[in-house]
């Protein structure tokens, strides 16, 4: 299954079809996963994106939540 089809199928199953998983959102999440995997450790990638997702579910925008996480990652050097 290709990525866009997978995301649409999963979104329908989870009842999150109202959330935009456009190219911009995918790019933000993949960059965040990459950065957290490299700056912390590999397993940080899915856990970081999960926590950012919770923040979005609680009212933050994806951009703001990802930026806050990235700021922490880059300040930890």
Residues 63-74: tens digit of each pLDDT: 999 999 999 999
Q: What is the pTM of this model?
A: 0.88
Q: Is 43 left (phi over 0), alpha (psi -120 to 50) or beta?
A: alpha
Q: How many of the other CB atoms lie within 10 Å of CB of 53?
A: 16
The pLDDT of residue 20: 85
The pLDDT of residue 29: 97
Smallest Cα–Cα separation from 34: which of 23, 24, 48, 22? 48
Contact 32, 15 (CB under 8 A): no
Contact 48, 32 (CB under 8 A): yes
Q: Where are the domains of the chain?
A: 22-75
- Give residue-wise pLDDT tens across range 19-40: 889 999 999 999 999 999 999 9
């Amino acid at each position: 299954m290709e990525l866009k089809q997978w995301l649409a199928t999963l979104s329908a199953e989870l009842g999150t079809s109202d959330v935009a998983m456009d190219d911009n959102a995918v790019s933000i999440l993949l960059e965040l996963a990459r950065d957290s995997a490299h700056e912390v450790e590999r397993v940080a990638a899915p856990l970081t994106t999960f926590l950012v997702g919770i923040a979005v579910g609680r009212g933050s925008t994806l951009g703001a939540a990802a930026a806050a996480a990235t700021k922490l990652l880059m300040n930890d050097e």
